[in-house]
Amino acid sequence: MLYRPVLSESARPAIETTAAVVAERMPEITPEFYRRMFAAHPELLDGLFSHADQASGRQSAALSGSVVTFAVALLEGQHPLDLVRRIANRHAALGVTPEMYAIVHEHLFAAIAADLGDAVTEDVAAAWSEVYWLFADLLVAAERELYGAQANDRFWTPWRIAAAGTPTTTVRHMTFEPADDTPVTPAVAGQYVSVRVRTADGLRQVRQYSLLAPGTERRIGIKRDDLGAVSPMLHALPVGAEIELSNPYGDLTLDDGDQPLVLATAGIGCTPAVGFLEALAAQHSDRRVMVLHADRTRTDWAFSTAVEALVRRLPGASLHTWFEDDGSRPRMTLAEVGIPLDADLVLCGPLGFMQAVRDQALALGVPDAQIRYEVFGPDAWLKRA
């Protein structure tokens, strides 16, 4: 059980007066932080931080967003458990260790001091350091729980490609089998695994992919990014090749409730929905389930056959689709299908899609607490009021 963090009364005034300034400057501070950290610890570039996210600035946006969001939550007396759990799962899927938080603290605060100069008084530095360690301690505790729940104590284990196929021109699905006798942790529907490969520059890179089924099976779908460093390699690997996978992680999982469930996905974001539907079908569930999917065209919908078959197996399920090349229904519109206002609404897809669907749901009266989402890559989504 994660404790409830409380900001000290001595730190509160400094955070209240500087939160907006720090938030504004974080996009400039964090690139300098990463420059300093990687200069001192180049080993962190091997198998931990995404080179693509560093180059695009997405990692910087995620760091600034999470730290400031946590600080503001403390000011408002909130307990941002969803933020902590989501980041802790992502960290665990990368093999983050407690020692890394001290490294981040050293170089992040050096970058803040360099950027803000005299504005960083002793009181300001102490207040933000308190925020950081409250956040870090929660993450370390959550990650310890996640590691302890696994069937093994290894961050990475070898798996062999047992089968592969291409449901569309840009998506490849892969099924893996264990390549050694390491105990396998059963996955929960909605979880993901990290895949680690060595790229052309000699460094290892990691990407996360949703599992297409719960249990000990490992099946994933990979959309090819022709400009990416990892997905083209995964598309080219032959059956029989070995690859490293993490244990399963992710907090966007199928709950045990009986309230209506709405799965709203777009593009390759349909993969978690497949895992949810597989689990429900295995349970012979009669739960009311609405599957909503948007894509460029019907032929771009990577797992249409699987989704349609699973929906037919579920007596309480219905399927609704939108395609950009269909002039009558080019964009997902929740009002068209009448989603239940007491539903558990799960979103997965491009960031703009999820924000737009969330806005629609809130406008219809779905409580924000019932809207859950998954972001692959740095979680830079700060929810809009």
pLDDT digits over 342-374, tens only?
A: 999 999 999 999 999 999 999 999 999 999 997
For residue 214, which of 194, 239, 185, 243 has the smallest C-alpha distance?
185
What are the φ/ψ torsions at residue 203 (nearest 5 degrees)? -95, 150
The answer to whether 382 and 359 have CB atoms below 8 angstroms apart is no
What's the pLDDT band for 59 if we cut at 50, 70, 90?
A: low
> What domains does the chain contain, in order, with CATH numbers?
12-148 (1.10.490.10), 157-245 (2.40.30.10), 261-374 (3.40.50.80)
Is the pLDDT confidence value at 385 over 50?
no
Is the pLDDT confidence value at 384 over 50?
no
Tokens of 12: 């509160």
Is the pLDDT confidence value at 180 over 60?
yes
Is the pLDDT confidence value at 288 over 50?
yes
Helix axis angle, 12-40 to 99-116, nearest 10°? 110
Q: What is the mean pLDDT of residues 63-78?
A: 84
Rounded Cα gap, residues 232 and 207, in angstroms: 12
Give CA 170 to chain center in angstroms: 21
Q: Write out the DSSP string of 98-136.
A: THHHHHHHHHHHHHHHHHHGGG--HHHHHHHHHHHHHHH
Is the pLDDT confidence value at 375 over 80?
no
Q: Which pLDDT belongs to residue 63?
A: 66
Count CB atoms within 10 A of the CB of residue 14.
Answer: 19
Q: Which pLDDT belongs to residue 201?
A: 85
Contacts of 18-25 with CB under 8 Å at 24 or more apart are 18/119, 18/124, 18/127, 18/128, 19/68, 19/71, 19/72, 19/75, 21/116, 21/119, 22/68, 22/71, 22/112, 22/116, 22/128, 23/64, 23/68, 25/115, 25/116
Q: Which pLDDT belongs to residue 275?
A: 97
Q: Which pLDDT belongs to residue 60?
A: 52
Q: Which has the higher per-residue pLDDT, 22 or 248?
A: 248
Q: What is the mean pLDDT of residues 314-327?
A: 96
Q: Which has the higher per-residue pLDDT, 249 or 29?
A: 249
What's the pLDDT band for 159 if we cut at 50, 70, 90?
A: very high
Q: Which residues are catalytic?
A: 101, 143
Q: What is the mean pLDDT of residues 306-325?
A: 97
Rounded Cα gap, residues 366 and 70, in angstroms: 24
Rounded Cα gap, residues 275 and 374, in angstroms: 14
For residue 71, which of 124, 121, 32 has the smallest C-alpha distance?
124
What are the φ/ψ torsions at residue 242 (nearest 5 degrees)? -100, 150
Percent above pLDDT 90 for the chain: 78
Rounded Cα gap, residues 371 and 121, in angstroms: 40
What pLDDT digit, counting tens, does each position of 255-286 carry?
888 999 999 999 999 999 999 999 999 999 99
Q: Which has the higher per-residue pLDDT, 141 or 60?
A: 141
Q: Which pLDDT belongs to residue 80?
A: 83
